[in-house]
């Protein structure tokens, strides 16, 4: 049975195998783009899963608050409200009528502001979770960078040690008169 993440691993493994083949060559633009795409895909899947979990927790009242916030923030709503108020004032200019208009707008703004605040609180919670996810991914990337730097330092030390050994060996070979005499065979 194949895992749905198997093609991604295969792609990653292929990239690493290619990089191991040519350790002294620089990364091609296509390789960098492939790695970047893998990271974006990984982050996208996590964010999609996060949004899916948030939607499961959302009830219909929360969704209604989101729709009200979207509607109240649109130019369509602003225009429709302005036209409605203007028409009301032109048609019904008596004192009682303006009192009813004012009272209706107060009630509308009370419920609208409450629903918009509810929606903003939910959005703030979503943003906080996404921010925590971004921090976690950045922390993981920083840890991997530090690990890579440590490995590079260790490789550098090993290379310096090999270079010293090779230079000492070449100096020993280049000194005249310091050749070892062959040992006599013992029986």
Give per-residue pLDDT as tens, 134-154: 787 778 788 888 888 888 998
Give per-residue pLDDT as tens, 65-93: 888 899 988 999 999 999 999 998 888 87
What are the CA-CA distances from residue 187 to residues 1, 73, 115, 180 (Å)? 67, 102, 102, 21
Give the pLDDT band of residue 108 (cuts 50, 70, 90).
Answer: very high
* Number of neighbours of residue 116 by Cβ within 10 angstroms: 19
User: What was the pLDDT predicted at 178?
Assistant: 53
Give per-residue pLDDT as tens, 16-48: 566 556 555 555 667 666 666 766 676 667 777
Instruction: Please name which of 38, 36, 66, 69 lies closest in space to residue 51, comparing C-alpha atoms.
Output: 66
């Amino acid at each position: 049975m194949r895992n749905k993440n198997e093609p991604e691993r295969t792609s990653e493994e292929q990239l690493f195998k290619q990089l191991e083949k040519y350790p002294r060559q620089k990364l091609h633009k296509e390789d960098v783009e492939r790695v970047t795409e893998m990271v974006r895909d990984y982050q996208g899947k996590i964010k999609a899963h996060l949004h899916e979990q948030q939607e499961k927790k959302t009830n219909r009242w929360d969704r209604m608050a989101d729709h009200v916030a979207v509607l109240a923030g649109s130019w369509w709503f602003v225009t429709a409200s302005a036209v409605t108020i203007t028409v009301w004032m032109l048609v019904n200019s008596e004192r009682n009528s303006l009192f009813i208009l004012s009272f209706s707008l107060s009630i509308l703004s009370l419920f609208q502001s409450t629903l918009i605040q509810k929606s903003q609180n939910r959005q703030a919670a979503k943003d906080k979770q996404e921010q925590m996810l971004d921090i976690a991914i950045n922390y993981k990337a920083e840890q991997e960078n530090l690990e890579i730097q440590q490995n590079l330092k260790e490789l550098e030390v090993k290379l310096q040690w090999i270079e010293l050994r090779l230079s000492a060996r070449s100096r020993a070979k280049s000194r005249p008169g310091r050749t070892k005499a062959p040992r006599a065979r013992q029986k």
